[in-house]
C-alpha cells in the first residue's frame, strides 16, 4: 500500500489546482494481469492561480509507468519522480501542453475494488472518490473537469461488450487478431471520479425513453447472461425516475444513451458515473421468486438516486470532498421525494426517519460525530456516512420546508442555471436558495458546520382565563469531538393543536397573524410562542412530519400520547405517538433495575389495543398500518437509554412486549393475517406490498406468543409462500424459534437457493440475525461455510454486517466474543479491502453507552486493534472510536 500519510486534510486549506486538464484521451487495452492504459492529457496552467512554473504533481497508485512524453518528446527518468502515490514532473511549460503517459495496472490483483478490477470475469471500475489514480496518473480531484474520449480494446470472446461514459462513436474488429474495440465520447466535462469503463460478456436488456422535449434515449441494462428476466423492475423504475425528474424538477436527460451495468462484487450500492451507472447486482436484479418487496423498494429508490445524480452531482459537481453532502444529501432528498410521490408520503417519511434515527443519531452522539460538511478527514472513504447522506438530506428537506415546495424548486433552478458544468460548494447551493427567497440563511448554515443532534424540549401551558396556549421551546446542541460549544440553530418546527374532540384548531399567534401550515421557526436557545383564541386545553402535536432532525422531548402524559395515536391528523406524528408510547415502556423495562412489569402490564395492554384499532382501520393505507405493528428496534431502545445499556435487558424487554401484544390482540392479528392473504399473481405495487407487510407483521407478533399453533401457522406460511417476500418473512420468524421446524425450513431454503448468490445472502443473513446464546458460534459456522467468501462484499455484509447491526444482544455478548469475532474478521479483510474493513469497524461507535463490563471488553478489543498495523481507513475509525485519534 502506498498510502503512507495519515495526516488529516482540512477544508480551510483548500487551494485551487495549479493546472487544469481540459481534454483526456484514454486508450485502454484490457487484460487480466496487465491492462495497458495510454493517456493523452491536454493540460494548461490554471489562469486563476499564479502557477509560475510550479512542478506538475499527478496522483497515481499501484501503477507501473512505462513511458512519458511531453508535447511529443520523451521524458527521461531525470525529468520526473514517482514517489508516495504521485508523479512529479519537475519542469512543464507555462502554456497549454500535452502529456502522454503509458502505464499498466493489474485488474485481477485489485481486491480493494477501487480503480479497474475484475468481478466474476467482468472488467469494471469504481473511481469515487480516489479510484481513477489507480487507472492512470491524473489530477484526481473533483474540481478538475475534463472532456473524455475513451477507446477500449479487448478479446472479442472474453469481453464482447465494451462500455464507457457518454455516447458511442465507433466500434470494430482489429484485423488479424481476435480482438475488437469500442470508442466513447462524453461531451460533458466531468471530474475523474465519474469516469467508468466496463468490459465483459454481458447480456443486454434494451428499452427506450423519449424525453419531455422529444429526444429518444436508448436505455440498456447489462447483466450476467441468463439474468435478463430479472431486469424489468429496474428498467421500469429508471423510466419512472426520468419522467419524475422532468415533471418535479424540470431536469431532462442529456445523452443519447443511458447504460446500467450490474456486477456482483461492489463495495457500495451503486455509482452514478456519467451515462454509465455501475450497480451492485443486488440493486438491479428482481423477480417475484428471488426478491422481496423490500428489495423492490430498494431497487426503485437506488435506480432513481443514481439517475438523479445526473444533475445533482454530475452536471453540477463538488469542488472538493468536504462538499460531499452537496451531491449526496441533495440526491438522497430527491430520491426520498420520488419514493414519497410514487408510493405513500407518510410511509416513506417513516422509513427515512427510522434509518436516520438508527444510523445517524448514534453517529452524531458518538466518537465519530462530524458535521454534515466535515472540516477535516484522514481518509475520505470513511466519510460516506449517515451524517453526510441522511442528515444531509434532512438539511435539504428543511430548506424546502422553510421556502415551500415552489420556492425550493426555484432555488434549485437557479443553482443549475448558475453552476451547470462547475464544481461548487455548499455555499453556492445555499446562496441560490437565499437569493430566490430573499431570506438570510446565515444561521441555517450551522446545519452544515455543527455536529450533534439538537435536543428540542417543548412544553405547552394553557391559560383558561386568557384562552391562550403558550409553547415554550428550548434547544441544546450537545458537545461533540472538537466542538465543545455550539450556537443555536434555525429549526423549522411544525406544530398543530388538537381539540378534545380530535379536531385541528386554527392557529393564530398572539399578534393576530395566522400560522400557515403550523410552521414555527426556532432560532433562539429558548423561545416562547403564544397562540390565542384557544377555547379549551388542547393536545399539541409537535415536530410534525419530523420537520427537523432533532431529538424531541415534551411534557405530554401517557394519556395525551394515546390520544395522538388515535387522533393526530399528521400521519407521521400519529405513528410517532405509538412509537413514543412503546419506547417509554421499553426503556423503563430495560433500564438497570428496571420494571419489566411495565411491558407486560396494563399500559402495554392499552398500547396493544390502540395498535389493534389503527391496524384494522381500513381508511388507512395497508403499508401505513403495517408500520404500527413494528416495534422500535433494540438499537432504538439502546439509543434512548443512552447510558449504562445492558443489551440483554433490552432484548428481554422487547421480546416480552411483543409477546404481550401478540396475546392481547391475538384475534385482531389473526383476522389481519387471514384478511390480507394474497390472491392472484405477485405484484410489487404498493397496495399489494402493503397487504403482505401487514400480514407478515401480524404473523410475527402471533408467533411471539410462543403458542405451538402459531408456530405451525408460520411453518405453513413458509411452505405455501409463492413469492420471496412471504418466504423470507416466514424464514426469519422461524429462525428465532427453538424447534426442529427452524432447521427444516433453513435446510429447505438452502437446497432450493444454493446456486443463487443474492438469495443465498438472505439465508446467511437470517441466521446471523437470529438472537440466541449461541449466535456467535452460529456465525463462526457460517464463516467457514463453503459458500462463504470474505472477498465478496455482499456476502460479508450478509453475515458479518447482519450480525453486528442486526443482532445486538449477541454482538454485545458480555464475554466479548462478538467483539473479538468482528475484530478478527476486520483484520483479515483490512489486508485486501480497507474500505470494507473500516465500514465494519464502525459498529463499535456506540461502545461508550454500554454498561461497564461490556464497555471494558469493547475497549480492550479496540486497543488491541489500535496496536496493530492497519490501513489508513481502519486506523482512522479505530483511533477516533477510542477517542485517542
Q: Give the chain's count of helices (H) and strands (E).
A: 29, 31
**Cβ closest to Zn ion, residue 303 vs residue 669:** 303
Cβ atoms within 10 Å of 826's Cβ, excluding its own: 25
Give CA–CA dist 549/310, Å, rounded: 27
Give CA–CA dist 811/243, Å, rounded: 44
**Cβ closest to Zn ion, residue 317 vs residue 331:** 331
Give CA–CA dist 653/586, Å, rounded: 6
In contact, 285 and 262? CB cutoff 8 Å: yes
**Cβ closest to Zn ion, residue 301 vs residue 871:** 301
In contact, 590 and 646? CB cutoff 8 Å: yes
Query: Which of the 8 DSSP states describes residue 606?
Result: H
Residue 274, classed as helix, strand or coil, is coil
**Cβ closest to Zn ion, residue 310 vs residue 723:** 310
In contact, 261 and 222? CB cutoff 8 Å: yes
Enumerate the active-site residues.
306
Give CA–CA dist 658/704, Å, rounded: 6
**Cβ closest to Zn ion, residue 112 vs residue 328:** 328
In contact, 838 and 876? CB cutoff 8 Å: yes
Beta carbon of residue 429, minimum distance to Zn ion (angstroms, whole number): 15
**Cβ closest to Zn ion, residue 237 vs residue 778:** 237
Beta carbon of residue 3, minimum distance to Zn ion (angstroms, whole number): 24
Q: Which three cell numbers stand for residue 763?
A: 439465508
**Cβ closest to Zn ion, residue 328 vs residue 627:** 328
Question: What would the 3-class secondary structure string for 833-882 be?
Answer: CHHHHHHHHHHHHHHHHECHHHHHHHHHHHHHHHCCCCCHHHHHHHHHHH
Beta carbon of residue 233, minimum distance to Zn ion (angstroms, whole number): 20
Nearest to 196 by CA among 138, 135, 119: 135
**Cβ closest to Zn ion, residue 323 vs residue 723:** 323
Distance of CA 407 to the CA centre of its chain: 27
Beta carbon of residue 305, minimum distance to Zn ion (angstroms, whole number): 6
Nearest to 787 by CA among 810, 825, 757, 745: 757
User: What sign results for the dihedral spanned by CA atoms 436, 437, 439, 443?
Assistant: negative
DSSP 166-212: SEEEEEEE-TTSSEEEEEEEEEEEE-GGG--EEEE--EEEEEEEE-T
Beta carbon of residue 807, minimum distance to Zn ion (angstroms, whole number): 28
Beta carbon of residue 309, minimum distance to Zn ion (angstroms, whole number): 6
For 200-235, give one letter per residue: b (16+ CB within 10 A) or e. Answer: bebeebebebeeeeeeebebbbbbbeebeebbebbb
Q: Which residues pair with 9 in a beta bridge?
A: 377
Beta carbon of residue 822, minimum distance to Zn ion (angstroms, whole number): 27
Q: Which residues pair with 138 in a beta bridge?
A: 59
Contacts of 726 by beta carbon, 8 Å cutoff, 6+ apart: 678, 692, 695, 696, 717, 718, 720
- What phi, psi does 149 have (nearest 5°)? -120, 130
**Cβ closest to Zn ion, residue 331 vs residue 475:** 331
Contacts of 98 by beta carbon, 8 Å cutoff, 6+ apart: 40, 41, 42, 43, 70, 71, 72
Beta carbon of residue 313, minimum distance to Zn ion (angstroms, whole number): 7
Positions touching Zn ion (CB under 5 A) are 328, 331
Place of cell 496522483: 59
Beta carbon of residue 286, minimum distance to Zn ion (angstroms, whole number): 20
Beta carbon of residue 272, minimum distance to Zn ion (angstroms, whole number): 6
Q: Which three cell numbers stand for residue 445?
A: 448554515
Amino acid at each position: 500500500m502506498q498510502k503512507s500519510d495519515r495526516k488529516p486534510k482540512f477544508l480551510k486549506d483548500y487551494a485551487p489546482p495549479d493546472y487544469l486538464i481540459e481534454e483526456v484521451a484514454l486508450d485502454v487495452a484490457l487484460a487480466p494481469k496487465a491492462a495497458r492504459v495510454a493517456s493523452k492529457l491536454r493540460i494548461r496552467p490554471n489562469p486563476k492561480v499564479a502557477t509560475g512554473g510550479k512542478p506538475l504533481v499527478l496522483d497515481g497508485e499501484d501503477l507501473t509507468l512505462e513511458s512519458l512524453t511531453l508535447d511529443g518528446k520523451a521524458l527521461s527518468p531525470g525529468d520526473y519522480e514517482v514517489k508516495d502515490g504521485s508523479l512529479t514532473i519537475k519542469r512543464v511549460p507555462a502554456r497549454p501542453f500535452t502529456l502522454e503517459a503509458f502505464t499498466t495496472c493489474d485488474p485481477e490483483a485489485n481486491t480493494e475494488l477501487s480503480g479497474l478490477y475484475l468481478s466474476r470475469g467482468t472488467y469494471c471500475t469504481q473511481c469515487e472518490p480516489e479510484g481513477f489514480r489507480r487507472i492512470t496518473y491524473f489530477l484526481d480531484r473533483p474540481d478538475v473537469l475534463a472532456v473524455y474520449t475513451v477507446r477500449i480494446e479487448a478479446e472479442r470472446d472474453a469481453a464482447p461488450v465494451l462500455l464507457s461514459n457518454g455516447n458511442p462513436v465507433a466500434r470494430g474488429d482489429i484485423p488479424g487478431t481476435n480482438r475488437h474495440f469500442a470508442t466513447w465520447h462524453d461531451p460533458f466535462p466531468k471530474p475523474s471520479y465519474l469516469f467508468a469503463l466496463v468490459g465483459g460478456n454481458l447480456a443486454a436488456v434494451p428499452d427506450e425513453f423519449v424525453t419531455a422535449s422529444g429526444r429518444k434515449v436508448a436505455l440498456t441494462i447489462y447483466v450476467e447472461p441468463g439474468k435478463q428476466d430479472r431486469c424489468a423492475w429496474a428498467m421500469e423504475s429508471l423510466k419512472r425516475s426520468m419522467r419524475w425528474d422532468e415533471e418535479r424538477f424540470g431536469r431532462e436527460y442529456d445523452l443519447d444513451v443511458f447504460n446500467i451495468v450490474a456486477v456482483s462484487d461492489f463495495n457500495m450500492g451503486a455509482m452514478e458515473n456519467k451515462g454509465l451507472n455501475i450497480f451492485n447486482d443486488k440493486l438491479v436484479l428482481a423477480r417475484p421468486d428471488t426478491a422481496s418487496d423490500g428489495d423492490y423498494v430498494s431497487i426503485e429508490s437506488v435506480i432513481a438516486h443514481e439517475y438523479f445524480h445526473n444533475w445533482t452531482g454530475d452536471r453540477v459537481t463538488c469542488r472538493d470532498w468536504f462538499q460531499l453532502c452537496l451531491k449526496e444529501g441533495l440526491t438522497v432528498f430527491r430520491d426520498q421525494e420520488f419514493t414519497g410521490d410514487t408510493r405513500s408520503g407518510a410511509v416513506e417519511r417513516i422509513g427515512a426517519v427510522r434509518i436516520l434515527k438508527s444510523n445517524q443519531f448514534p453517529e452524531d452522539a458518538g466518537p465519530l460525530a462530524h458535521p454534515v460538511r466535515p472540516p477535516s478527514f484522514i481518509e475520505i472513504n470513511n466519510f460516506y456516512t449517515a451524517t453526510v447522506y441522511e442528515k444531509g438530506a434532512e438539511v435539504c428537506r428543511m430548506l424546502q420546508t422553510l421556502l415551500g415546495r415552489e420556492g425550493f424548486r426555484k432555488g434549485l433552478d437557479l443553482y443549475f442555471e448558475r453552476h451547470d458544468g462547475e464544481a461548487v460548494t455548499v455555499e453556492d447551493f445555499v446562496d441560490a436558495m437565499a437569493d430566490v427567497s430573499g431570506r438570510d440563511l446565515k444561521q441555517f448554515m450551522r446545519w452544515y458546520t455543527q455536529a450533534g443532534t439538537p435536543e428540542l424540549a417543548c412544553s405547552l401551558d394553557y391559560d383558561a382565563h386568557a384562552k391562550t396556549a403558550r409553547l415554550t421551546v428550548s434547544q441544546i446542541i450537545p458537545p461533540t469531538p472538537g466542538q465543545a460549544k455550539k450556537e443555536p440553530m434555525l429549526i423549522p418546527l411544525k406544530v398543530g393543536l388538537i381539540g378534545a374532540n380530535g379536531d385541528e384548531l386554527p392557529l393564530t399567534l398572539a399578534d393576530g397573524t395566522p400560522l400557515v401550515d403550523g410552521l414555527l421557526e426556532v432560532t433562539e436557545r429558548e423561545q416562547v410562542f403564544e397562540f390565542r383564541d384557544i377555547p379549551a386545553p388542547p393536545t399539541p402535536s409537535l415536530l410534525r412530519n419530523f420537520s427537523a432532525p432533532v431529538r424531541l422531548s415534551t411534557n405530554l402524559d401517557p394519556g395525551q400520547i394515546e390520544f395522538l395515536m388515535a387522533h393526530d391528523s399528521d400521519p407521521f406524528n400519529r405513528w410517532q405517538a405509538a412509537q413514543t408510547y412503546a419506547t417509554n415502556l421499553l426503556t423503563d423495562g430495560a433500564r438497570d433495575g428496571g420494571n419489566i412489569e411495565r411491558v407486560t402490564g396494563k399500559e402495554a395492554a392499552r398500547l396493544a389495543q390502540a395498535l389493534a384499532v389503527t391496524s384494522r382501520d381500513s381508511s388507512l393505507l395497508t403499508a401505513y398500518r403495517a408500520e404500527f405493528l413494528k416495534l422500535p428496534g433494540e438499537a432504538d431502545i439502546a439509543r434512548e437509554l443512552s447510558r449504562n445499556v445492558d443489551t440483554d435487558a433490552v432484548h428481554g424487554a422487547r421480546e416480552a412486549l411483543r409477546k404481550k401484544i401478540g396475546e392481547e390482540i391475538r384475534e385482531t392479528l389473526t383476522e389481519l393475517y387471514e384478511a390480507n392473504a394474497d390472491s392472484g399473481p405477485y405484484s410489487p405495487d404498493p397496495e399489494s406490498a402493503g397487504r403482505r407487510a401487514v400480514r407478515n407483521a401480524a404473523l410475527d407478533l402471533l408467533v411471539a406468543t410462543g403458542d405451538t399453533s402459531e408456530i405451525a401457522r408460520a411453518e405453513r406460511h413458509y411452505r405455501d409462500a409463492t413469492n420471496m417476500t412471504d418466504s423470507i418473512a416466514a424464514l426469519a420468524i422461524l429462525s428465532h424459534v427453538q424447534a426442529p421446524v427452524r432447521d427444516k425450513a433453513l435446510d429447505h431454503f438452502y437446497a432450493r437457493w444454493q446456486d443463487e448468490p443474492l438469495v443465498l445472502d438472505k439465508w446467511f443473513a437470517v441466521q446471523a440475525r437470529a438472537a440466541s446464546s449461541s449466535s456467535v458460534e452460529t456465525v463462526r459456522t457460517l464463516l467457514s461455510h463453503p459458500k462463504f467468501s470474505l472477498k465478496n462484499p455482499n456476502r460479508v455484509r450478509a453475515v458479518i454486517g447482519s450480525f453486528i447491526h442486526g443482532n445486538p444482544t449477541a454482538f454485545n455478548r458480555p464475554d466479548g466474543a462478538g467483539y473479538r469475532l468482528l475484530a478478527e474478521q476486520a483484520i483479515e479483510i483490512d489486508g485486501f479491502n480497507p474500505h470494507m474493513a473500516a465500514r465494519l469497524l464502525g459498529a463499535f461507535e456506540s461502545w461508550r453507552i454500554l454498561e461497564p463490563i461490556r464497555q471494558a471488553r469493547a475497549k480492550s478489543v479496540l486497543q488491541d486493534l489500535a496496536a496493530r498495523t492497519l490501513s489508513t481507513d481502519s486506523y482512522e475509525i479505530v483511533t477516533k472510536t477510542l477517542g485517542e485519534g
